[in-house]
Amino acid sequence: MPSDEFASLTEIVARARVQLPRGVWDYVMGAAETETTMKRNRLAIDRLGFRPRVLRDVSTIDLTASFLGEPSRLPVFIAPVGQLGHLSPGAGADVARAASAFGVPQFLSSGSPPSLEEVAEAGPDVVRVYQLYVTGGPDFVDAAIDRAVGAGYRGFCLTVDTAWYSRRERDIHNRWGIRWQKAGFGPGADFLAALSWADVERVRARCSIPLVLKGIATAEDARLAVEHGVDVIYVSNHGGRQLDHGRGSLDVLPEIVAEVGDQAIVLVDGSFCRGTDILKAVALGAAAVGIGRIACLGLAANGSAGLVRVLELLEDEMTRAAGMLGITTIDQLDATAVTEAPVVADPSALSAFPLLG
Ligand SMILES: Cc1cc2nc3c(=O)[nH]c(=O)nc-3n(C[C@H](O)[C@H](O)[C@H](O)COP(=O)(O)O)c2cc1C
């Protein structure tokens, strides 16, 4: 089916659910233990209501943003996802093709094929960040930096909320990825557990491109990141897949934005899968918003064309919502656009898609 026949994000999610084997679906949609962190990601978004302004001439709307100094069609990027080969054969290269076709940045996970060089070749014009799981010593990290810089990556990202591998019960019960379940992140997991601010300092000094720390969830760590020269603070709880009973990302974002001010760029992810979700994060100070699972489902539904369709539909939702909010550009959004409001749905992995039941 051509991707433009997906008339809504709901149809894409429904198609992915039919196409994916149960184990892969659960790997993508699942989270740690009680899945409370993941549900709180959704709850934090749901409990903000908009304060729309009217009579402001919104005939023309421009949602372009900038990312690491480069233009981006939306304030959206593709979050790093490991094991993408389960979702589409080209894995990271398919994401690169979609990011290039649509015009948004891509984070590539070190946990996903093909090589970072092949991904760069698949979408040479994409603003791309290489995300590394530190499963080796300084030589291992330095080699990754050199390869990423050599292949034209614009940023280097360390994921830091993975000191230990969580217990993801859907995967455990499906006996999916059982090798990983036993050995955490596999060979080299000890390096992840031992990672410290001294390593961040060393990487910052060694790395010639902007350094991103992914998995910051407190103002205290955001402050330390700034003090260690980190350029981009990526607020995330790994989509609720790591520490259970964490706070929702959108609940965390304001304290971090307030702490760092203009000393670093702040990104966020965690259950953002609708146009209005993204506008709420931008209103609270995120420079851009990462999409994880909804990007995976686009890939699963129809490869890179499916991911492009996800982005088109998000853009359509965002454009219409911007018009109804009374804004014509992204920088007109600020915290006055949102306020606390009653929640109407039980948060879950699929609660943003109520037609799916
Ligand atoms: C299937 C899957 C694999 C992931 N793999 C990685 C990874 O390799 N590196 C990483 O930093 N984060 C990884 N994440 C976390 C995402 O980058 C992101 O933080 C999270 O998915 C955001 O929440 P959302 O999926 O609700 O949008 C993964 C997430 C999913 C769903």
Q: pLDDT-based confidence at 181, cuts 50/70/90?
A: low
The predicted structure's pLDDT at residue 165: 93
- Please report, to the nearest 10 degrees, the dihedral formed by the alpha carbons of residues 134, 135, 141, 147 taken in order: -100
The predicted structure's pLDDT at residue 177: 77
Average the pLDDT over 145-166 and give the result: 97
pLDDT averaged over the chain? 96
CA of 81 to the centre of ligand 1 (A): 5
CA of 51 to the centre of ligand 1 (A): 31
228 catalytically annotated: no
pLDDT digits (tens, 9 = 90+) for 235-261: 999 999 999 999 999 999 999 999 999
**Residue in 40, 162, 241, 289 to alter for ligand 1 test, most ligand atoms within 8 A of Cβ:** 241
Q: Could you give all domains of the chain from N- to C-terminal order, each with its CATH number?
A: 3-330 (3.20.20.70)
Closest CA to 265 of 287, 238, 237, 291: 287
- Residues 6+ away with beta carbon under 8 Å from 248: 37, 40, 41, 42, 43, 44, 45, 270, 271
Say if residue 78's pLDDT is above 60: yes
Say if residue 274's pLDDT is above 90: yes
- Residues 6+ away with beta carbon under 8 Å from 111: 80, 82, 83, 133
CA of 242 to the centre of ligand 1 (A): 10
Does the beta carbon of 291 sit less than 6 angstroms from any atom of ligand 1? yes
Residue whose Cα lies nearest atom 28 of ligand 1: it is 81
Does the beta carbon of 131 sit less than 6 angstroms from any atom of ligand 1? yes
Does the beta carbon of 81 sit less than 6 angstroms from any atom of ligand 1? yes
Average the pLDDT over 313-335 and give the result: 98
CA of 53 to the centre of ligand 1 (A): 34
Q: What CA–CA distance (Å, rounded) separates 330 from 302?
A: 30
Does the beta carbon of 204 sit less than 6 angstroms from any atom of ligand 1? no
pLDDT digits (tens, 9 = 90+) for 35-47: 999 999 999 999 9
